[in-house]
Structure 1
Amino acid sequence: METKQVKWGHWFWGLFFVVCAAILVLSQLGLFTYHLRFWTLVLVLILVAAAIKSLASLSFAGFSFSLAFLAMLFAKPLGIQQLVPWTILGAAVLLSIGLTLLFKPLKKHHFSVVTINDNHYSLSDLRQMQKDAKKAPSYVPSSESADVTVNVKLGSATRYVQQGDFRHAVIHVNLGDAKVFFDKATIINEPALIEVLGQLGDISLYIPREWNVQPNLGNLAVDFNEKGETPTKTGPLVVLAGDFKMGDVTIHYI
């Protein structure tokens, strides 16, 4: 069983940096009609990346002000010198408010809401459930029931989860990739929670096909894929949630 989606994040950022390199070289060769100084060009690229990142995470204020500062930088060729700076900044404020109101329902959906036995839970609710479970008299702390945390930044990591009482995993990836194997883990108290956080990377989760995984990523800028064996979903409930941007999350059922 395999669910395929176009990994636009890789293509987009790859082409973005290739175009940035071309602009840098051509501008220094004087092949543009409007010449950009080196540091101005660097600032332009930073603002463009900030605008894209803000739009992907539905941060309309960041998106609007990134566009506003770009407009200020190019005020002369655009013929809008008379609008700099206060009219441009005022327009950014109004644009931010307008987009927030227009896309408010979409932004609400951006946050994870999970339905379990006809009851609705937010991500914070699920975290609190895990904390409350640890305070129960029957809970016995041990290395086999500890939370799982994976942090990757500018690199790669492989982690094997073998807890006998797996409850909660947090996988945080920034500019890297992580492979996490859950095939030796056992879930006694459901639902278990797997959080994926960060941006610009790949997260591969190797999960028993019996687990009933409920994906609830809710982010427009993440590519989610399911591969491997056909899941039976006869086992314990596992909620996959979080806020992972500009990357790929893949479940490999084994």
Structure 2
Amino acid sequence: MRNRNGIFWGLFMLLSAGILIVSQLHLITYTFSFWTVVATIFLVAILIQSLVNYVIPGTVFSLAFLAILYAKPLGIMAIVPWTVLGAALLISIGLSFIFHPFISKRRFKNMRRYHHGWHNPRMQARFDHNVDVETIDEPDVNVSVRMGNSIRYVTSDDFREANIDVSMGNAKVYFENVTVHDTATININISLGGVDLYVPKNWNIIQKIDNNSMSGMSEVGIPEVTDDSPNVTIHGYTSLSGLKITYI
């Protein structure tokens, strides 16, 4: 899969270089500036990546910015940029509500394919609108947040996996009172929200996060990894969201 992705993006870049050269030689009817072509290539790359990874905000906003970029030839000068961006925000929220269960299921399934030695636990929806703080004492943890703020304390003595799914909300998950035997996995799926992970300093965190669509990730504290430290891999996707990892 990685090899195919490399070939695809390699061919995409070669094609983009060709389009850039042709546009500057004025061999096409409509003349575009150099930076317009560069921005187009960048936005199309985000669009393709968002479609492949089922990222609705990335897909919608990349199309919106392309519409703004080509407003004149499209004849939509009267409604750019704020009307287009406002509509893109509402469309992103609406489509996220409609397709979020399907997208979350697909993403967690894809994460399992890339993780060696996966445990294949059952996916269970454990979201309760009336519960904001909860302590979880299980080896497999599922956290789901929709338009709210939640805090979860994990106290398992044999932690293996956590699935954290946040849409238009915020979640804080504390792993300070858990024991990991050799390896564990944390899967995240964040859309229009934020997740704070509080992890022990002695964990060897392996980050495999796909931060796209104007998302960001930060780390607080300094890890203290030794030869005996367990390996904890964080897989996932963030879209118009933030992820913070705090070492405690």
Stretches of structure 1 that go unaligned for 5 or more consecutive residues are 1-50, 79-110, 112-121, 133-142
Q: Which residue of 1 aligns with 2:247?
A: 253
SS of equivalent residue, structure 1 residue 129: coil
Q: Which residue of 1 aligns with 2:183?
A: 191
- The root-mean-square deviation of aligned C-alpha atoms, in Å, is 3.9
Post-superposition Cα deviations, 1:89-123, rounded to whole Å, max 9, x if no partner, equal xxxxxxxxxxxxxxxxxxxxxx9xxxxxxxxxx74
- Equivalent residue in structure 2 for 1:201, among 171, 193, 199: 193
Cα distance in 2 for partners of 1:180, 1:167 equals: 15
Cα distance in 2 for partners of 1:220, 1:123 equals: 20
Cα distance in 2 for partners of 1:57, 1:175 equals: 21
Post-superposition Cα deviations, 1:58-108, rounded to whole Å, max 9, x if no partner, equal 338956866569979995566xxxxxxxxxxxxxxxxxxxxxxxxxxxxxx
Which residue type is aligned with residue 163 of structure 1?
A: S
SS of equivalent residue, structure 2 residue 115: helix
After superposition, the Cα gap between the structure-2 partners of 1:217 and 1:73, relative to the gap in structure 1 and judged at 3 Å, is same
Which residue type is aligned with residue 230 of structure 2?
A: P
- Equivalent residue in structure 2 for 1:212, among 204, 218, 243: 204
Cα distance in 2 for partners of 1:181, 1:246 equals: 23
The sequence identity of aligned pairs, in percent, is: 30
Q: How does 1:161-240 map to 2 (within 5 A)?
A: 161-188=154-181, 190-221=182-213, 222-228=215-221, 230-234=222-226, 235-240=229-234
SS of equivalent residue, structure 1 residue 124: helix
Bigger RCO of structures 1 and 2 (CA < 8 A, at least 6 apart): 1
Q: How does 1:33-44 map to 2 (within 5 A)?
A: none
In the superposition, the TM-score normalised over structure 1's length comes to 0.50
Aligned residues: 152
Which residue type is aligned with residue 244 of structure 2?
A: T
Cα distance in 1 for partners of 2:243, 2:63 equals: 30
Cα distance in 2 for partners of 1:77, 1:192 equals: 51
Q: Which runs of 4+ in 1 moved over 4 A?
A: 60-78
Task: Tell me, yes or no, if the aligned pair for 2:171 and 2:195 is still in contact at 8 Å.
Answer: yes
After superposition, the Cα gap between the structure-2 partners of 1:56 and 1:204, relative to the gap in structure 1 and judged at 3 Å, is farther
After superposition, the Cα gap between the structure-2 partners of 1:127 and 1:153, relative to the gap in structure 1 and judged at 3 Å, is farther
Q: How does 1:1-254 map to 2 (within 5 A)?
A: 55=47, 57-59=49-51, 62=59, 67=66, 75-76=74-75, 123-126=112-115, 129-131=118-120, 144-188=137-181, 190-221=182-213, 222-228=215-221, 230-234=222-226, 235-254=229-248
In the superposition, the TM-score normalised over structure 2's length comes to 0.51
Task: Tell me, yes or no, if the aligned pair for 2:190 and 2:238 is still in contact at 8 Å.
Answer: yes
Cα distance in 2 for partners of 1:77, 1:244 equals: 31
Cα distance in 2 for partners of 1:160, 1:252 equals: 14
Task: Tell me, yes or no, if the aligned pair for 2:138 and 2:155 is still in contact at 8 Å.
Answer: no
Task: Tell me, yes or no, if the aligned pair for 1:57 and 1:219 is still in contact at 8 Å.
Answer: no
Task: Tell me, yes or no, if the aligned pair for 1:212 and 1:233 is still in contact at 8 Å.
Answer: yes
After superposition, the Cα gap between the structure-2 partners of 1:77 and 1:211, relative to the gap in structure 1 and judged at 3 Å, is closer
